[in-house]
Amino acid sequence: MKSEKPLLLATNDDGIQSGFLISLVEELIKDFEVVTCAPDGERSWIGHAISRNAKLIPKEVSDYPSLAYALNGTPADCVNLACGNLLNRAPDIVVSGINLGYNITMPMILSSGTVGAAMEASLLGHRAIACSMALPNDEFEDIRKSCAKVMSKDVEKSLKNSAKSCARYAKNMVSLTKPEGLTVHNLNFPPRYDGSEEPILTFADNLRLGSLFEKVRGQKYHQLIYKTEWLEEADIEIGSDLWALQEGMPSVSRLDFQGASGRSYFEV
What average pLDDT does this structure show over 230-249? 92
Identify the residue with better confidence: 94 or 3: 94
pLDDT of residue 226: 83
Which class is 7-209+236-263 in CATH? alpha beta
The per-residue DSSP string of 137-186 comes to: TTTHHHHHHTTT-S--HHHHHHHHHHHHHHHHHHHHHHTSPPPSSSEEEE
pLDDT in tens, 188-212: 999 999 999 999 999 999 988 888 8
Least confident of 75-89, 115-129, 254-268: 254-268
Residue ranges per structural domain of the chain: 7-209+236-263
pLDDT of residue 114: 98
Task: For residue 94, give Cα distances in angstroms to 49, 190, 222, 231.
Answer: 17, 22, 35, 29
Q: Average per-residue pLDDT in the chain?
A: 93
Q: Does residue 153 surpass a pLDDT of 90?
A: yes
- Per-residue pLDDT band at 104 (split at 50, 70, 90): very high
Identify the residue with better confidence: 177 or 112: 112
The residue among 230, 224, 225 whose CA lies nearest residue 245 is 230
Task: For residue 21, give Cα distances in angstroms to 80, 198, 244.
Answer: 19, 20, 23
Q: Does residue 55 surpass a pLDDT of 80?
A: yes
Q: Does residue 242 surpass a pLDDT of 70?
A: yes
Least confident of 47-56, 155-164, 177-186, 190-199: 177-186
Identify the residue with better confidence: 231 or 222: 222
In the chain, the percentage of residues whose pLDDT exceeds 90 is 82
Task: Say if CB 128 and CB 181 are below 8 A apart.
Answer: no
pLDDT of residue 268: 57
pLDDT in tens, 172-189: 999 988 887 889 999 999
Q: Does residue 2 surpass a pLDDT of 90?
A: no
Identify the residue with better confidence: 148 or 59: 59
pLDDT of residue 237: 93
What average pLDDT does this structure show over 210-217? 89
pLDDT of residue 155: 95
Instruction: Please tell me the distance from the alpha carbon of residue 55 to that of residue 23, in angstroms, as a whole number.
Output: 30
Q: Does residue 1 surpass a pLDDT of 70?
A: no
- Per-residue pLDDT band at 3 (split at 50, 70, 90): low
Task: Say if CB 121 and CB 35 are below 8 A apart.
Answer: no
